[in-house]
Chains A and B, each alone.
Chain A
């Protein structure tokens, strides 16, 4: 993964961080994510990605996001290490 690439959230690995840049998908999905504070500009950290739903931390809250929905959140990946 190159530095500063735009990828779906699901591509990040455990411990990776990124910044939300866009949410793609239907109005329902978008508004639900927005209402939960998952909006462009927010920093997101992946706490767990073991092949099923993804565990993230954003705004000081933790969420379990199903893989389908996590595909729709586009992030600017920052690579650790």
Chain B
């Protein structure tokens, strides 16, 4: 291992661990109606939005109303992005005169961006107009992130309440998240990106006459403003087809570091927001510790595999990577972007070592609870925590309790649905693709990697990640529709159970801790929690993983090529 790589990893980890709690505790105040210093500038704007829309931010909602509002809001988002795409030829800000997007592709893209997946079956630069990119996709970058955070806020509230029918106001949660957290941070980051070289322009593409006399299109557009939020909001959908490997999205080693920090910052901070809201910061550090442990294990395995691949054939590791980034940072990014539900890439996952791919897949398969998407990582982890409390309770023969709440049948049934549904979608979808001639015809790599490409596509969609092992042609009808459905199930198949649980917990009575209560902020509990995640993930996906990356790794070690 190079010294530089050590310095890189440690600087990254330290910066994150310093920033996350500060930002997290601050957000706990801001998102609950105490905007502090930003309030002086933005409070009037927040109030005028409420006045304009007739929203009463203090009027809290029953969980069903909260869910219904969320679904209506996201449904509108879907419809708007869909309509913009299929009519873009007739709309302004289309200087390249791009044609309307075909219906099934527009469906896939609209679902993808409203569910915070940002899976892309198209190349942005040649498919979407400036207007669709900014008024369609970029808006959903903000709003899908805000939706995830809102659900987490509702869940946190439900845990500290008792005998309460309400869990918060969805409109206020979304507005505050967008206004006080996402917008200011994106503004700041996008300006740094432009300073370093990212593009931000409304002019038509420039055309260059190159040194050897041929023509080169210099693609322009409102790029930096979109890249900033796609990194911060765990979205990950690039302006360009090659995402953050493209020099116009990620021009320098510095932007590479900042974009990578942006991937993790909000998901990590939200754990502390959660801890502060439930009044138990120690619990937040416990969760942070479990996530960090699993993340480090993943980074170690991925880095080892990358080093080994380079030893076998020097030079091969740079396939699909950019020279301005160090090799280690490309491996680190690939692990972070799959642990967190981001899905942006600065190097092509399709060209990475089999075991690196295995780490990426596993990160997504367990439901992206290693920090995870903004909000959804934390509420996904909560499902595992509830399951662990339940299992631990069974083991010691006590009624399971969590933070003074009795964990009963209703909660466990919903938690199981939230955990099992996305897994079922991944396995069923992959199996279906392996039986469908249309799906089989469209993969690129031969051998086990061909299977991994299919498995990766379903995993990435169902987990709302959006990165790809590429290779498969996702723009076929089969995949556009199938993966679109997977994204919907993976998103709302978890949100509905979480809100149902939140509503139920808020109604429950609070039980004072007794000698029989299992402490949930202890080291023992952290270890049991880690074990539950590994076992649930391992048992569900080991057969599929062994057919893809595992067998490829073993065959490659014997020198077998495809």
Do A and B interact with each other, yes or no?
no
